[in-house]
Structure formats: structure tokens, C-alpha cells
């Protein structure tokens, strides 16, 4: 049977997603000062639900307001927020699509505007533009609080009407930090071997499953590697994939890189020729996963042509297709793309010409666009790359100051 973008899929837990296109996680940065969702969240996800995508995944929702991924994150740490969260989940599921919450803790990737001494597996500092303080090594009690935080967030998500969760264990955030020997230099049961380094992820998944039950989707986002010497390798990743297979999660999303090596953001410069020819990032690694696991598999990044999406779905290389930026730049073409009426989506790339500013310019450009869309404003193509490159730092500072005054 030929599988296409508009084909439905039944996950191991029994949940049915109406088609194979996923709006992957993109940080919104628009929460209220009390870390709750806003009308902007409702507007964004209502619009994305109207695209016809089968699954929407939220941007980073943190479990600890002292360890934000970015200023403007929503934090799921209290059931008092559930009435507001129900409005958000309702807006994002109005077209019989799924809407999952991406749950995260930033660890050492918490910037200095939020935490001068963030908690992390080990005291390995992220040295990038002087924006990150030296972390404190987590105690057993700290680790236990993280486990409880992920479980509480998943429970709140289910009670609020979201239809699944994604546990973020990629891109250098806390669970990814535990997986990497570069950032996890512990000598206890949480460090050393890959079995020990993955222990925290395993326990969180097991306890989340106990809490949400067998019919609620649990996904994991995992790096193929960190693309750094001494970091999390493909061999490590395949070991973790086998573990996730045993845990019978419902969807595995593969990505790669950390704040130090933004492989998930600037792949156009770094990817292999074979990957460029086949359009999608991390597609070569997907083949290795298929050799060791039968988990439903998704990759985000690089997909732009209808025919190629259908090719990798029909071949069995992937089960779902993740996209981020097209849901900003080509939102009104998404439905046509799913149905085959639109055969290609443009890949808009923003560059300053200054190497050290490129990731900031790209990130700032799309962050500004998301904020515009959340206010009901249209996509704006003409933005200064240099101004975009400084936007995120200015945004973090202003939001941090506002929260201190709150």
C-alpha cells in the first residue's frame, strides 16, 4: 500500500493521527509574566490547526521556571493554570488533529538573565557569547525534583486537554546533557556508561507512563549525535533507541546538535552531499534506526517537496514528516501541500555574511515572525539580518526585567 502525506497512522498506544505531517516544536516566547499561555498562543495554534496538519507539537514548555529555555516560555508546574491551558489546547485541536506538549528543562543552557548558576549534571559551562553561567552539579534531591517535574507537567498536559507529550532529550537541554559524556562527568549511577547516562530519561518515561496511562501518546526527541568531540555519538544514540523500543514509546523524533553546535539549525552548511540530494536532515541516520527499532519515526528539517515526503513515507524510512519554518513562511500553503495541490515549499534562509552572527540572525528572524503571527500580523519578509541577530538577547533581557518587576 502506498503511504502518502494524507494517510492516517495508528500509534502503539492506539491513538490515530489523521495524516503524516507534523508541525514540529518552535519556541513561542509569548507567555505572560506568570509563565501562563496567552491569547497569542490560542491564535497561533488555532491558525496552525486550520492548516490541516495531523499533529502540532508545542514549543518548549518548561518544568522549572528557574530554568527557562527562553524568556516567554510557558511553565507547567501548577494545576492552577489548567483553565488557561484548556483554552490553549482547545484552540489547537479544533480540527480533529493532535496537539502535544513538548516538555523540557534547560539545565546549563539556561541563560544568565534567568539563572546565574543553573543546575546541570556536572559543572561544565556553556561558553557562548558570555550568556551562560557556570552550572552547579545536581544533587540526588535535584534529580528527584526533575523527575517529579516531568511527571507533573505530563499530568497537567493530559488534564488540560492536550492529546500527548513529547519529552525533549535533544539539542543540549538537560536530558541531553545527561546523555552526553561531554557534559555529564559524574561518577555515580547517573554518569559513566551509556546505561547510567540514560537512566534519568528511562525513569522519567516509565513514571510518565504510569501517570498518564497506556492510551496517552508519549514521544521522545533525541539527538542522532551532538556533532562534538567527546559528546553523544551515533553509537550512544542507537543504544538509547533500543532502550526506547523496549519502553514502547509512541513516536521517536530524531534531531542533532546543541547550542554549541547548532546542527539542527544551520544544516545547510554542514550536511553531507548525499543528504543534500535527498533533501531531509538526518535521513541517513534514520536507516540505522530502522535496523534496531520498529518505533514510529519522525525527522524534522529540510523537507520541502511533496514527492520526496511521499517517497520516504512509502519506502518505510519514516512514519511522519516534521516541519517547522514552513508553518511560518508558508502557512496558507500547508493544506494544499498535504493534499498534493502544492508540490514545493520554499526554504527561506537568512544570512548576515558574518559567521558568528548567523545562528542568531536565523533564530531572531523566526522568533520575530512567530511573535508577529501571535498578534494576528502577517509574515514579514523584509527584516534586517543584523537586527535579527541581536533580537534574542534584547528579548531575553527585557522579558527577564519584566518578570523581576512582577
Per domain, the residue ranges of the chain are 9-348
* Amino acid 1: pLDDT: 62
Q: Is residue 239 pLDDT above 80, yes or no?
A: yes
Judge contact between 283 and 301, C-beta under 8 A: no
Q: Is residue 403 pLDDT above 70, yes or no?
A: no
- pTM score: 0.93
Judge contact between 148 and 203, C-beta under 8 A: no
Mean pLDDT across the stretch 335-349? Answer: 91
* Amino acid 351: pLDDT: 63
Confidence of residue 401 (pLDDT cuts 50, 70, 90): confident
Confidence of residue 391 (pLDDT cuts 50, 70, 90): confident
Q: Is residue 367 pLDDT above 50, yes or no?
A: yes
Confidence of residue 406 (pLDDT cuts 50, 70, 90): low
Mean pLDDT across the stretch 312-337? Answer: 96
Residue-wise over 307-339: b if at least 16 C-beta within 10 A, else e? ebbbebbeeebbbbbbbbbbbbbbbebbebbbe
Compute the 3-state secondary structure of the chain and give helix, strand, coil in percent, each to the nearest 5: 40, 15, 45
* Amino acid 12: pLDDT: 98
Q: Nearest CA to 392 among 113, 150, 91?
A: 113
Confidence of residue 262 (pLDDT cuts 50, 70, 90): low
* Residue-averaged pLDDT of the chain: 91
Paired with 78 in beta bridges are none
What is the enclosing helix (H) or strand (E) of 271? none
* Amino acid 211: pLDDT: 98
Confidence of residue 87 (pLDDT cuts 50, 70, 90): very high
**CATH 3.40.50.300 for the 9-348 domain, yes or no:** no
Confidence of residue 402 (pLDDT cuts 50, 70, 90): confident
* Amino acid 347: pLDDT: 72
C-alpha cell belonging to residue 251:
513516536
Quote the longest CA-to-CA distance of the chain: 59
Q: Is residue 61 pLDDT above 60, yes or no?
A: yes
Amino acid at each position: 500500500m502506498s503511504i502518502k502525506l494524507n494517510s492516517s497512522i495508528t500509534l502503539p498506544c492506539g491513538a490515530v493521527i489523521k495524516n503524516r505531517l507534523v508541525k514540529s516544536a518552535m519556541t513561542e516566547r509569548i507567555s505572560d509574566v506568570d509563565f501562563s499561555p496567552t491569547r497569542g498562543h490560542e491564535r497561533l495554534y488555532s491558525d496552525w490547526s486550520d492548516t490541516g496538519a495531523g499533529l502540532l507539537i508545542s514549543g518548549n514548555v518548561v518544568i522549572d521556571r528557574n530554568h527557562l529555555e527562553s524568556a516567554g516560555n510557558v511553565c507547567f508546574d501548577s494545576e492552577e493554570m489548567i483553565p488557561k491551558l484548556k483554552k490553549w489546547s482547545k484552540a489547537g485541536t479544533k480540527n480533529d488533529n493532535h496537539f502535544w506538549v513538548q516538555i523540557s528543562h534547560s539545565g546549563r543552557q539556561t541563560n544568565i538573565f534567568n539563572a546565574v548558576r543553573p543546575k546541570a549534571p556536572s559543572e561544565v559551562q556553556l561558553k557562548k557569547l558570555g550568556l551562560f553561567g557556570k552550572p552547579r552539579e545536581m544533587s540526588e534531591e535535584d534529580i528527584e525534583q526533575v523527575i517529579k517535574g516531568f511527571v507533573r507537567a505530563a499530568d497537567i498536559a493530559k488534564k488540560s486537554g492536550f492529546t500527548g507529550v513529547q519529552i525533549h532529550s535533544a539539542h543540549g537541554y538537560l536530558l541531553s546533557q545527561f546523555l552526553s559524556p561531554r557534559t555529564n562527568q559524574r561518577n555515580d549511577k547517573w554518569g559513566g556508561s551509556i546505561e547510567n547516562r540514560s537512566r534519568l530519561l528511562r525513569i522519567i518515561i516509565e513514571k510518565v507512563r504510569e501517570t498518564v496511562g497506556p492510551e496517552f501518546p508519549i514521544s521522545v526527541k533525541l539527538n542522532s549525535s551532538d556533532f562534538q568531540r567527546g559528546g553523544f555519538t551515533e553509537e550512544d544514540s542507537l543504544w538509547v533507541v533500543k532502550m526506547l523500543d523496549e519502553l514502547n514509546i509512541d513516536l521517536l523524533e530524531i534531531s542533532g546538535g546543541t547550542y554549541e553546535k547548532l546542527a539542527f539549525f544551520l544544516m545547510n552548511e554542514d550536511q553531507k552531499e548525499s543528504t543534500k540530494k535527498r533533501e531531509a536532515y538526518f535521513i541517513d541516520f534514520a536507516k540505522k534506526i530502522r535496523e534496531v527499532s520498529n518505533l514510529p519515526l519522525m525527522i524534522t528539517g529540510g523537507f520541502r517537496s511533496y514527492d520526496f515526503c511521499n517517497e520516504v513515507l512509502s519506502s518505510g524510512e519514516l512514519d511522519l514528516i516534521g516541519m517547522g519554518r514552513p508553518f511560518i513562511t508558508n502557512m496558507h500553503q500547508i493544506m494544499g501541500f498535504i493534499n498534493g495541490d502544492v508540490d514545493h515549499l520554499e526554504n527561506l534562509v537568512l544570512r548576515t555574511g558574518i559567521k558568528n552572527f548567523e545562528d542568531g540572525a536565523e533564530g531572531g528572524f523566526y522568533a520575530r515572525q512567530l511573535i508577529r503571527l501571535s498578534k494576528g500580523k502577517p509574515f514579514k519578509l523584509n527584516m534586517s539580518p543584523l537586527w535579527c541577530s541581536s533580537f534574542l538577547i534584547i528579548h531575553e533581557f527585557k522579558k527577564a526585567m519584566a518578570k523581576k518587576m512582577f
